[in-house]
Chain A
């Protein structure tokens, strides 16, 4: 039923997009993944919920447009944007140079650190650098030293990441040859495999991992490792847009700036992540 409905919406959406270009009160269709708690996820009733769902509605109010939020699998989320199935992506997508080659981004609306989720009784729980923070853009030498320090601990271990994320890129660049890296379609899947003991650690966004830690089956797990940002991890999470849509980008930038200025971003991120993820710059 959901599937039939989404096809219906897609058809409706594309006709609206054609007609909407001329009309003023247009509908902005925003895609999210719906499997990345607490950023965006499908609630018990099948409804999309999370930080980005709240934020999208908030931004649309400020932009004075009608919003429609749809779920789209992560691995097809950029191709479908390019195929004009929707107009924007808000799915915890970090701004990276790789992605900038094919799509455009608004200014960041969140900037969260990453971390490793491991079992409390695993040798990895004593990972060096826990509690420290490095920015690979401004402190490249120190950051890379901290990563080097991780290698002896991770040697021969298996690390899970979600395919097509900054964490997968990070693992590809820094952990290849040290640890075995397995790529999963969703974060829920690598969490399941961590709980099953098939992998020794999950590398992901700390905000998402904090969400995982709140689940009862992860009470014996802990978040470790240095929090690394910048460099190939990018400046934060932004709205993904098709290239050349400068008017829409400007609207999103203005709305994000306004939400940041009056503290709405802080309020929403504290509601969902328990920490403030408002980008500093």
Chain B
């Protein structure tokens, strides 16, 4: 192990971190909206919507992300005239948007199941209590169902976010120079695969460590009822003689 080489590699790979985080966060943001939509479709009770959402989740959860990226990038690339007619080519021309699209569609499928689990775990009593207080519709969703669902879903959703950060490494196959893409280039220049991948792995660990801390902080903030109540000073005058 050559530590000065590893230090240089570390700094070279850091230049890929913005793109890695950009891909992951953009996909998570769009994916969350898609997932919410899919989860609501599944729970809508309308059979057609439910079936569409189920089929979508089945396809995107059942096929490897690498295959999805390849199909979206190289596969759709072969239908350029059609896409140009539809005015979609400017979008599909860019590897960045193809990567974001593939990651979004993928995380949408996984996260919709996590959200559905969270929504379904909201206890009936709480919903009934809210109704008894006169809440209904969107107010009920916003005040009662959503906060409880988020709290339930957060641990699983946290791992989904971490999976997405790691999944961005697949974008290197469509020429995106994120951390893994730069690592592959460095290996091809130096032929020192072990050192470069050790450092690349370390960078992903650091990123994901930060993300787990943020999720833990969120969990703590959302679960005041699980925290120990602040210690109350016993009032002296209460203890009469």
Give Cα distance in the complex from A163 to B177, angstroms. 12
A74-90 contact mask (Cβ, 8 Å, vs B): 1 or 0: 01101100100000000
Q: Which residues of A contact B173 (CB under 8 A)?
A: 185
Give Cα distance in the complex from A195 to B185, angstroms. 24
Docked-complex contact B193 and A164, CB < 8 angstroms: no
A181-192 contact mask (Cβ, 8 Å, vs B): 1 or 0: 011110001001
Docked-complex contact B187 and A75, CB < 8 angstroms: yes
Docked-complex contact B189 and A196, CB < 8 angstroms: no
**Among candidates B74, B78, B194, residue contacting A189 with C-beta atoms closer than 8 Å:** B74
Is B93 in contact with chain A by the CB < 8 A criterion? Answer: yes
Q: Which residues of A contact B187 (CB under 8 A)?
A: 75, 79, 164
Is A197 in contact with chain B by the CB < 8 A criterion? Answer: yes
Q: Which residues of B contact A189 (CB under 8 A)?
A: 74
Q: Which residue of A lies closest to B181 (CB)?
A: A183
A90-112 contact mask (Cβ, 8 Å, vs B): 1 or 0: 00000000110011000000000
Is B222 in contact with chain A by the CB < 8 A criterion? Answer: no
B193-205 contact mask (Cβ, 8 Å, vs A): 1 or 0: 1100000000000
Q: How far apart are B176's CB and chain A's nearest CB, in angstroms?
A: 9
Q: Which residues of B contact A163 (CB under 8 A)?
A: 184-185, 188
Docked-complex contact B77 and A192, CB < 8 angstroms: yes
B51-75 contact mask (Cβ, 8 Å, vs A): 1 or 0: 0000000000000000000000010
A164-179 contact mask (Cβ, 8 Å, vs B): 1 or 0: 1000100000000000
Report the number of A-B residue pairs with Cβ-Cβ less than 8 Å.
Answer: 49
Interface residues of A in 189-211 (CB under 8 A from B): 189, 192-193, 195-198
Q: Which residue of A lies closest to B188 (CB)?
A: A164
Q: Which residue of B lies closest to A196 (CB)?
A: B77
Is B175 in contact with chain A by the CB < 8 A criterion? Answer: yes
Q: Which residues of A contact B181 (CB under 8 A)?
A: 183
Docked-complex contact B191 and A79, CB < 8 angstroms: yes
Is B80 in contact with chain A by the CB < 8 A criterion? Answer: yes
Docked-complex contact A183 and B185, CB < 8 angstroms: yes
Docked-complex contact B175 and A182, CB < 8 angstroms: yes
Known: A75-B184, A184-B175, A192-B74. A197 touches B191 (CB 8 A): no
Known: A183-B175, A197-B93, A198-B93. A164 touches B77 (CB 8 A): no
The number of chain A residues with a CB under 8 A from chain B is 24
| Residue of B177, B187, B194 with highest tally of chain A CB at under 10 A | B187
Docked-complex contact A75 and B188, CB < 8 angstroms: yes
Docked-complex contact A196 and B80, CB < 8 angstroms: yes
Q: Which residue of A lies closest to B177 (CB)?
A: A183
Give Cα distance in the complex from A163 to B183, angstroms. 11
Q: Which residues of B contact A198 (CB under 8 A)?
A: 77, 93, 95
Q: Which residues of A contact B80 (CB under 8 A)?
A: 196-197
Q: Which residues of A contact B74 (CB under 8 A)?
A: 189, 192-193, 196
Give Cα distance in the complex from A17 to B78, angstroms. 45
Q: How far apart are B44's CB and chain A's nearest CB, in angstroms?
A: 38
Q: Which residues of B contact A98 (CB under 8 A)?
A: 189
Docked-complex contact B175 and A82, CB < 8 angstroms: no
Q: Which residues of B contact A76 (CB under 8 A)?
A: 193
Docked-complex contact B77 and A193, CB < 8 angstroms: yes
Q: How far apart are A92's CB and chain B's nearest CB, in angstroms?
A: 15
Interface residues of B in 58-116 (CB under 8 A from A): 74, 77-78, 80, 93, 95
Give Cα distance in the complex from A82 to B191, angstroms. 10
Q: Which residues of A contact B193 (CB under 8 A)?
A: 76, 79
Q: Which residues of B contact A192 (CB under 8 A)?
A: 74, 77-78
Give Cα distance in the complex from A196 to B98, angstroms. 14
Give Cα distance in the complex from A184 to B185, angstroms. 10
Q: Which residues of B contact A184 (CB under 8 A)?
A: 175
Interface residues of B in 142-163 (CB under 8 A from A): none
Interface residues of A in 152-170 (CB under 8 A from B): 160, 163-164, 168
Interface residues of B in 8-34 (CB under 8 A from A): none
Docked-complex contact A78 and B93, CB < 8 angstroms: no
Give Cα distance in the complex from A168 to B80, angstroms. 27
Q: Which residue of A lies closest to B173 (CB)?
A: A185
Give Cα distance in the complex from A79 to B187, angstroms. 9
Give Cα distance in the complex from A189 to B95, angstroms. 13
Q: Which residues of B contact A193 (CB under 8 A)?
A: 74, 77
Q: Which residues of A contact B191 (CB under 8 A)?
A: 78-79, 82, 99, 102-103
Sample 21 A-B pairs with CB under 8 A, ordered by A number: A75-B184, A75-B187, A75-B188, A78-B191, A79-B194, A98-B189, A160-B175, A163-B188, A164-B187, A164-B188, A164-B189, A168-B188, A182-B175, A183-B175, A183-B177, A185-B184, A192-B74, A193-B74, A193-B77, A195-B78, A197-B80
